[in-house]
Structure 1
């Protein structure tokens, strides 16, 4: 028999709204919280960077103050440059505030003329043009120095060591360059005195004479008065020895002064009588007059 029964159709189920995946919501919340953490970390990093920068500025200010107290930049010389460390140099001479170009050459030239007039620098100063660029040349019989508009100083000998700190000072905005005198060049050899410090030598001679007279008087008194003591003769001999040593010291100082003066005059004659620069000076450019300088 044919089965005509049919299975009942399933009742329609009510529509269900799909639930939001729990994982997605938690992921969004996690992402949000993670973003907040990153933002906090970024803010903290910026704060640390600001604190580090502030500490660096404070350290730099303290270093500059110490450098200003330790070094006398009005009388800055090669010895000061030699004992200055790299950190102190960077603190004292800020590269961003250095003067360069034509203005640096003008300031360095004025400072060098003043130093030459004061006999702090021994050399001939010339403003030359080399490879189409103005430069300052200072040379003597023992060395030379070339100053470029960028502030670079090259050369050799004592002239280079004397000029390097001078150019560094001229490149500082805070340094006031003095006005050089009209007659700033090296003196004529015949005008150099035979020696110096005659007043000091005279005073030492007076003291020596007093010592000798006192010693002689003690010795004579000890023999004339027939003193039965060795104290007076001993003191008299000590006074005589001191007086003689002082006289020898004065004589040696005078000879040294005369020798140095004669040596100085010979160097002046060699520079004045030379018709051209020394062979070790690698500059072939001619001297620039005031009218020929770049505007």
Structure 2
């Protein structure tokens, strides 16, 4: 739980145990920013209800304004973990209910604030679970600016809103990626596919640098689909990766998966070095990256 101390002239209020990160950072020009190790907040996006906003209590910094659940990061804590922890503490957001999509970072060098834009994958009702929230509400995207916003959130809202329509997805031609690395995969195709899918799962947790996807901001968390065929259909599943086990042609299954993601409005990248398949998925509206692109990300 993050409890901000009162700014000069603000009334005192109850506070709980302090984390080392719960402290002000003072800029060379005198401004103060909360969070010794930076701060992070969650912009939870519900497809039908809008975005989750927090009405801050009067004694908080810029009190009586609306902003995102968030606060100071702990030492060594990732921005994603910090934002999700703070959202759970302040708004009762179940960690498993939100899938991160992109990190938007405001970095001053001596202090940073990371907004984690996340999609609600399991609907939930927010609950006021600490003294910092006066009210919590799902607000339609078009109505956000009608609220008195925290100055920092107000300054970043238009940029954040522009990210809401960008939903990346990656479809992996597992057979093609495995075939590009002569590591004995032909002796145990299901085992080799399982190892690759596990590595993709780790990458999905870390996120992909924005330049690799030709997208803005810093880090993205695409929706991952791995397509397997033949003996590799015995592949083991892994978190954060959807597995499609092709009953017949793997290429046809990859094309179908890509078309489905494009139809859902996602920005789709297909990983394959097969030229004929590349032409087919390009015609379907997807971008193509070769196997070395994915292997480089996995190794990085």
Q: TM-score, normalised by structure 1?
A: 0.23
- The structure that is strand-richer by fraction is 2
- The structure that is helix-richer by fraction is 1
Q: TM-score, normalised by structure 2?
A: 0.23
